[in-house]
Structure 1
Amino acid sequence: MDLRFLGGAGEVGRSAILVNDSLLLDYGMKTDTPPQYPVGSVDPEAVVVSHGHLDHVGAIPTLLSGDRRPPIHWTPPTRELALTLARDTLKLHGGTYDCPFTETEVKRVTQVSEAHGYRETFTAASHEITFYNAGHIPGSAHVLVDDGDTRLLYTGDFHTEDQRLVSGTTARPDADVVLCESTYSDVEHSERANIEERFAESVRTTLWEGGTVVVPAFAIGRTQEMLLICAAHDIDCYVDGMGKQVTEMLRRHSEFVRDADALKRAKSHARFVTGRDGQRKRVADQNTAIVTTSGMLSGGPAMTYIPEIRDRPTNKITMTGYQVEGTPGRELLDTGSAEIDGRVMPVAAQVESYDFSAHADRTGLLAFLDAYRETPVLVNHGDRCGAFAEELTADGYRASAPDLGETVTV
C-alpha cells in the first residue's frame, strides 16, 4: 500500500492522504492568511472523509471541478457539516482566492455523496472501508482501509475520554499499520469534570455580580458541548452564530450523539439569537451567558458582542478552545487587547481560558496506541510529529513521521 501525504504531515490543517493513487482520505484547508490547500494535483477515484471540520473537509468541493465526479463517502453528520462549512466559505469568501470553489461545485457534492454508518463495510476505489466511532465530534470516524494486502487504520481526529456530546472512542480494529493524529502529544488535559466545574462556577459568579459572559466557541461540537454544560449547571444562556444551525442538524442525527434527550433539553434551555433589529446589542446588555462563534474571535457574531462588553471589569470572556497564534483570540489572551473589525481594542473585561479539547491528550494517544504495539505507526496531524515519533520509537514502537509530499510504502 502506497500513502502520499498531500497535507497534514508535520502540521495541523489541510489533511489529505492519497492511498494507492486512487483513494483520497480527507481534503482539508489550513486557515492561514492566505489559506493553504493540499499540495500537488490529485484526481482520485473515490474520497473518504473522517469528519466534518474545516481542516479535513474544507477543500472537498474543488475535487468536483471540470468533469471530475469521484464519489464522496462519509457519515451522515459529516456530510451535512461539510456542506454547511462549504456554504459558509462561499458566503464569506466567494469569488476570492480564499474560496477555491464555486456554488456549482458545492451543489455537485450532494450528487456524489454516499453516507454510511459505523461498522458498515463498503467499497471505495476497490478498497474495503469501515468507519468506527472516533469520539471527536458527532459523525467523526476512524477509517479502516483494506486493499486486500494491507489494512490501514487512519485514526482521523479522536478522543478517548467522554464528552457530554459524544462518548470517547473504544474501537481498536485490527490493522497492519496505523496513521495516527498527534495534536496534543505533549499535553495532559485536566480532568474534564474539574474543568467543567471551574467554568460553571466562574460563569455563575459573574452572573451573580451582574455581569455578562461571552463564551466564544467553535460552531461544530464545541457550541453544543457548552450548551449541554450550561443546561446541566442551570446557567442562563443564549446561542448565536453557525452553532445554531449545527445544533438543529445534530438533533436530526440523534444516533451520533451520546445523549439525544440531553441535547434536546440543552437546546430548549438556550435561547437562539436571530440577529434581527439590534437584538445582539440588547442581549449583550443582559445578565446572561452568550455562546457564540467564532471560537478564536476571527469573525462571526462575537465581533458584535466583544465590543459591547469589553469595557466593564464585571463582564467576562471565557475562551473554550485552543487559540492559534496570530488570531484575535490568542492576542487577547496574551496582551489583553485584540483587533476587532480592523481596530485594536483594549479589553477591561476578565478573560479566562478553559481546555474543552475534543482531541486525545498524550495519555489518551498512548492508551489508544497501546493496542498497536506490534504495528508500525505513522504520525501526522500535529506540530511535533517527528518528536512524538521519536518518543514512540524510544518506547519500543516502530514509528515514523512522513514529510509533506512524501510517498510511504507500507
Structure 2
Amino acid sequence: MRVHFHGAAGMVTGSMHLVEAAGKRVLLDCGMIQGSRDAEALNLADFPFEVEAIDAIVVSHAHIDHIGRVPLLVKRGYRGPIYAQEATADLMPVMLLDSASLAESDAERDNRHRRPGEPEAVPLYTQADVHDTLARIEPLPYDTRTQLLPGIEIAFRDAGHILGSAIVELWADGRKLVYSGDLGPKGSPILRDPETVQQADLLLMESTYGDRNHRARADTVAELGGIFADAWRDRGNVCIPAFAVGRSQELLYWFAKHWDDWQMSRWRIFLDSPMAARVVAVYDRHGNLFDADARRVWKDKPNPFQLPNLRITRTRDESVAINNIESGAIIIAGSGMANGGRILHHFMQNIGRRQAHVVFVGYQADGTLGRRIVDGAKWVRIHGRDFRVNAQVHTVGGLSAHADQGGLIDWYEGFTPHPPLALVHGEDKSREALAGEIGERDGIEVTLAYPGMTLEV
C-alpha cells in the first residue's frame, strides 16, 4: 500500500490523498484550496495524477475544503463511485450546488469587467457538473465494514467534527490505514465525541490546532454571553461569520440553551444564508446522530432551529433589508472566513461602527479577510471599497469544531500500539509543535506530509 499526498499537506485547505493498494487507486477527499486569491487560483491546475485511473473516491465530510473539487474531477473525466457517510451524502448537494453557484457568479462578474484581450472567465465547475457528481454518491452508515473494491474494504467511524464527519479505516494488502479526516473536540454540542480507533499500520491525522489548546468550552460560552451583553449595552449589531455547516447550528444551540440567562428574546436573530437553511433541514433528518445533551435541549428548551425571534433569510431582498437595522441584531452569515458570501455586505454596513461587534468563532486561514481582521488590520477592502475597522473584534476560539493539541494527542493515545504517524491539514507551525509533543511522549517518528511525498504502508 502506498499513500501519495497531494493536498492539505503543509496547509489547512485542499485535502487530497491518493492510496494505491490491491492494484487500485482510491482518493481520500478532493477538497478546494481556500485563502488568498493566488491560493484559490491553484484549484484550476491539472490534478497531479491521471483522473481516469482513479477507481473510487472516499470523502471524510462535507466541508468544501474536503469535497469542493470533486465536481471538477468529474468534469475532467472521473466516472467511478463516491463513498460518503449517509449524513455527509445528504449535505453534499447543499454544499456543492452552492459552490457551483458562487463559481458561476464569480465568472459572470469577472467577465463584466474583462478588459479587451483578456481571456473569458469560466467557472471552476457548473451546477450541471454537480448534478453529474451527485449521481455517483453511494451513502454508507457508520460502523459498517464495506468492500469498496476487490481487495479493499473501508469503515466510517464518527469523527465528531460536523454532522456526518468520518474517520476512515481502510484495509488492503494485509495492512490497515486510518485517516482521521477532521476530528472534533470532546464535549462539543449536538454531536457525539470522536470514536476511538485502536489499531493502524499508518495514521494520517489532521493537525489544524496542533500547537495550542482551546479555552474550556464553558468559559468560552460564558465569554460569548458577555459579548452579547456588551453589544446590547453598546446598542450595536453583532456580525458573526460562520460556516453554514456546523458552526451556525452550534450557535443556535447555545442561543436556545441560554435563552433566559442571555436574554436572547430581546434580540432579532438572522441566519442569513439560504444554504444554512437547507443544512438545518438535513440536521433535522439525522437527529439519531445527536448526543444526549442535544436531545435534552431539543426536548426542554426552544427548538434551536425554530427560535421565536429567528429569521432564516433566503432571498437577496431579505438579506439587504437587514442593512436597515442599526442595533439589536445578531447576524450569522457565511462565509466562515469572510472571504466571500453575504457576511461581506454586513461588514460593509457595520465594521466601521464603533458600537458594532464582530465575532469570529472558527479558524481563519492565512490570506483570508477574516485572518486580516483577527490579526489587527485597521483598514480592509471589501468589494473594491476601503473600510476602517472600528467595530469591536472578538476571537472566540473555544468554539472550534477541531480538536486542540491535547485532544489530538489523547485520540492518538487510544491506538495500541502507537502507529507511525503522518500529519496533514495543518500549517507547519502547528504540525511541528504536535510532532514534537508526540515524539517526546511516545518516541514516534512523525512525518510532516508535503505535496508529492509518498509513504509505504
TM-score > 0.5 by shorter chain? yes
1:284-363 matches, cutoff 5 A = 284-333=325-374, 334-355=376-397, 356-363=399-406
1:80 shift after superposition? 3.2
**Match of residue 80, structure 1, among 75, 78, 90:** 90
**Match of residue 26, structure 2, among 14, 19, 23:** 23
- In structure 2, the partner of 1:90 is 100
Q: 1:312 to 1:111 in 2, by over 3 A?
A: closer
- In structure 2, the partner of 1:100 is 124
Deviations, residues 136-194 of structure 1 (Å, cap 9, x unaligned): 11100000000140011111100231211312213224222211111111011000110
8 Å CA contact 1:7–1:405 kept in 2: the answer is no
8 Å CA contact 1:280–1:304 kept in 2: the answer is no
1:104 shift after superposition? 3.0
1:236-255 matches, cutoff 5 A = 236=267, 237-241=269-273, 242-255=275-288
The 2-side partners of 1:309 and 1:380 are apart by 37
1:342 shift after superposition? 1.3
The 2-side partners of 1:268 and 1:23 are apart by 41
1:219-230 matches, cutoff 5 A = 219-230=244-255
The 2-side partners of 1:80 and 1:344 are apart by 39
1:366 shift after superposition? 0.8
8 Å CA contact 1:23–1:125 kept in 2: the answer is no
Structure 1 SS opposite 2:221: helix
The 1-side partners of 2:418 and 2:233 are apart by 55
Matched residue type, 1:348:
N
8 Å CA contact 2:101–2:126 kept in 1: the answer is no
8 Å CA contact 2:241–2:335 kept in 1: the answer is yes
Matched residue type, 2:165:
S
The 2-side partners of 1:365 and 1:294 are apart by 26
1:10-409 matches, cutoff 5 A = 10-20=10-20, 21-32=24-35, 33-34=37-38, 35=40, 36-37=42-43, 39-42=48-51, 43-65=53-75, 68-94=78-104, 96=107, 99-126=123-150, 127-234=152-259, 235=264, 236=267, 237-241=269-273, 242-258=275-291, 259=294, 262=297, 265-269=303-307, 270-274=310-314, 275-276=316-317, 278-282=320-324, 284-333=325-374, 334-355=376-397, 356-372=399-415, 373-384=417-428, 385-386=431-432, 388-395=434-441, 396-409=443-456
The 2-side partners of 1:159 and 1:368 are apart by 10
Matched residue type, 1:379:
L
1:118 shift after superposition? 0.7
Deviations, residues 279-333 of structure 1 (Å, cap 9, x unaligned): 2223x33412111112222222212222222343222111111222322222223
1:390 shift after superposition? 4.5
Q: 1:409 to 1:194 in 2, by over 3 A?
A: same
- In structure 1, the partner of 2:115 is none
1:40 shift after superposition? 3.5
Matched residue type, 1:77:
A
Q: 1:132 to 1:348 in 2, by over 3 A?
A: same
1:386 shift after superposition? 5.0
Q: Which runs of 5+ in 2 are unaligned?
A: 108-120
Matched residue type, 2:378:
G
8 Å CA contact 1:3–1:407 kept in 2: the answer is yes
The 1-side partners of 2:349 and 2:9 are apart by 41
Q: 1:18 to 1:325 in 2, by over 3 A?
A: closer
The 2-side partners of 1:394 and 1:362 are apart by 14
The alignment yields a C-alpha RMSD, in angstroms, of 2.2
Runs (4 or more) in structure 1 with deviation over 6 Å come to none
Identity %: 29
1:66 shift after superposition? 5.8
Structure 2 SS opposite 1:335: coil
Segment of structure 1 superposing worse, 202-211 or 108-117: 202-211
Q: 1:311 to 1:11 in 2, by over 3 A?
A: closer
8 Å CA contact 1:29–1:54 kept in 2: the answer is yes
TM-score (norm 2): 0.84
Q: 1:279 to 1:352 in 2, by over 3 A?
A: same
1:105 shift after superposition? 2.3
Q: 1:129 to 1:316 in 2, by over 3 A?
A: same
The 2-side partners of 1:88 and 1:207 are apart by 33
The 2-side partners of 1:265 and 1:98 are apart by 42
8 Å CA contact 2:12–2:365 kept in 1: the answer is no
1:339 shift after superposition? 1.5
Q: 1:177 to 1:322 in 2, by over 3 A?
A: same
TM-score (norm 1): 0.93
The 1-side partners of 2:406 and 2:185 are apart by 9
Structure 1 SS opposite 2:282: helix
Aligned length: 409
Structure 1 or 2: larger helix share?
2
8 Å CA contact 1:251–1:260 kept in 2: the answer is no
Structure 2 SS opposite 1:215: strand
Matched residue type, 2:18:
L
The 2-side partners of 1:306 and 1:231 are apart by 26
Q: Which runs of 5+ in 1 are unaligned?
A: none
